[in-house]
Amino acid sequence: MPLPHPTASESARLDERVVLITGASGGLGRVLARACASRGATVVLHGRVVRKLEALYDEIVSEGGAEPTILPLDLAAANAEDFANVASALQSQHGRIDAIVHTAVILGSLGPIEHQAFEAWLSTLRVDLLAPFGLTRALFPLLRSAPDASVTFTLDTRGQEPKAYWGAYAVAKAGLSALLAILADEWENHLNLRVNGVVPGPMRSPLRAQTHPGDDVTRLPPPEAFVPLYLHLLCGQAKSESGGVIDGRTWLSGT
């Protein structure tokens, strides 16, 4: 099945699906949470700051979206038991998980390796790599029992092509690419399970403001531009496409 064109209609429906979005109070995560809820999905809103999640909850409900679930969890401090508790809570509350969209991220420190602290690396790797692994592993039984389940990792060009000074962030994103490939291979015979990655490229986001503070973000695509692509990965994708990594800039160009 071909990928949707960037200008394609966003008519996809997600009724009765339960979608977990990590980093839901961030730029891309927030947009995706609202889009999924407006299409009928019950969205599990993950984030670290409760008041931000509550504000997003109120916004979704006021817009007529399906009532979401709030999941406050600090990924920098979470451990295997925490992820197991998340799985147990979602099983009890919803009885299913149809999709995970990983957008939660921290930048960590940029600079020469010799100037980067071990503790900073540990926090970055926990949020950007170990948490996606831990959540996906803990929720695997729920995903496996869903009729059509997907996991989407949000990657970065710095993970695909590491450069100087990007440290733990680039290493974590490269690790996510490896994790994606491993899962695609392991899930090859699970016809109801799909896993993919999206490399959005530069966009108007809080992370971009951190990495390029002098950049003119108005020339960059907004997070909303990627909604049709993520919706396709959530519910319109063929099993044969599982394991693919989609370059957002190429996709936006229509090629």
Catalytic residue ranges: 169
Give 71's strand partners: 46
Tokens representing residue 152 in the block = 């989407």
CA pair distance 91, 81, nearest whole angstrom: 15
Nearest-10 Cα torsion for 147, 246, 228, 16: 20
Q: Are strands 245-247 and 18-22 parallel, antiparallel or unpaired?
A: unpaired
Three-class SS of residue 151?
strand
Q: Judge whether 90 and 145 are in contact, CB under 8 Å.
A: no
Residue 253 buriedness (CB in 10 A; 0-12 / 13-18 / 19+): exposed
Euclidean distance between CA atoms 106 and 171, whole angstroms: 13
**Helix residue spans in 78-166 (DSSP H):** 80-93, 118-125, 131-145, 157-160
Helix pair 118-125, 167-186: axis angle to 10 deg: 30
Is residue 246 within 8 A of residue 231, CB to CB? The reply is: no
